[in-house]
Chains A and B, each alone.
With several copies, the nearest count.
Chain A
Amino acid sequence: MSTVNCPECEAPIEFAEGTEAGEIIVCPDCGVDLEVTSIEPAAVQLAPMEQEDWGE
């Protein structure tokens, strides 16, 4: 499985089996929320802050 470095703490991260683009994973080292932006090539970015509201 492809690996990528955490943008926050540089730690190497391996995508677990079945990880999908658009999924949020947690950096095993620093615990920051990361958005999986692509699987091949592996890429992540800091997940946007969760704003609590909702539609109808």
Chain B
Amino acid sequence: MEITVVKLGGTEGVDFSAICKDAVELLNQGKKLVFVHGGSAEANALGEGLGTPPKMITSPSGYTSRYTDRKTLEIFLMAVNGKVNSLLTEQLQMLGVNAFGLCGLDGRLMQATRKESVQSIENGKRKIIRDDYTGKIEKVNSELLMALLDMGYLPVIAPVAVSEKGEALNVDADRAAAMVASALKAESLLLLTAVPGLMKNFPDESTLIRQLPMNQLSAASEAAQGRMKKKVLGAEEALNGGVSRVIIADGRIQNPISNALAGNGTVIE
């Protein structure tokens, strides 16, 4: 069964409705799709609305992530599981696609290890944070996903995982997509975002890297900044996990899935 995992970027400009319409076509042609989405923008907005603005953690190696204490976790669940996942599932249902929204808690779809502590840089000081409900995904319940696909559903996965002890954890959506794609031995992992792909000199779109062989991947991940760094790392994990190719492509245009499948963007093999 040839499966394509599509990660819908949460950043401004990514056009969910174009992605959903494109999916209808592809499903009609018998393609098997799995969606994974983010939600940091929605979580930030909800946090602001409730007077709990997001606190970000910058790890010593430069990655930023949300400081997810218990209160922030509940806001994250409301925004990501409640709003983004439900509205995306609704949008697909309204197009006649039988979507099935879930997250890593459900049937332990995605199990992650919760880090006992996280290091964060705060105004120059390195600090240890212990109540961070963040995790790194270790296992994906592919039988569950295959069962949903066999029942004709389009799984729509939110970036929430379950810890060993059963706690809800905030996980990175790009890494989640990579782990899901690996578990399913997907043919393609598409990372749709608000740029045409990986660029040598961001934001100059003429420097788009069209082909990126595996061996140049670590160099690329050094160069990449912030969110793109996570995508490149996710790509690396997916390819190591047995996914045939990963494509970082533009999520703002029409038919973004077909466009990416046709190789427009940064194809990493």
Contact = CB atoms under 8 A, between A and B. Distances in A.
Given A56-B39, A56-B76, A50 B60 contact: yes
Interface in A11-55: 20, 22-24, 33, 35, 47-48, 50-55
A55 B65 CA distance: 5
Interface of B: 38-40, 43, 57, 59-61, 63-66, 68, 76, 80, 115-117, 119, 125-129, 132, 134-136, 159, 169-173, 175, 230
Contact of A54 (B43, B126, B129, B134): B134
Contact of A52 (B57, B63, B125, B128): B63
Given A23-B127, A47-B128, A53 B117 contact: no
- Tell me whether chain A's interface is mostly helix, strand or loop, or mixed: loop
Contacts of B116: 48
Nearest to A26: B126
B172 A54 contact: yes
Interface residues of A, number: 15
Contacts of B175: 53
Given A24-B119, A47-B119, A50-B119, A55 B134 contact: yes
B172 to A, nearest CB: 5
A13 to B, nearest CB: 15
Interface of A: 20, 22-24, 33, 35, 47-48, 50-56
A20 B68 CA distance: 21
Contacts of B132: 55
Given A22-B127, A22-B128, A53 B159 contact: no
B61 A35 contact: no
Contacts of A47: 119, 128
B65 to A, nearest CB: 3
Nearest to A47: B128
A51 B60 contact: no
B59 A56 contact: no
A24 B226 CA distance: 24
B65 A54 contact: yes
Nearest to A24: B126
A55 B172 contact: yes
A35 B171 contact: no
B128 A48 contact: yes
A22 B57 CA distance: 14
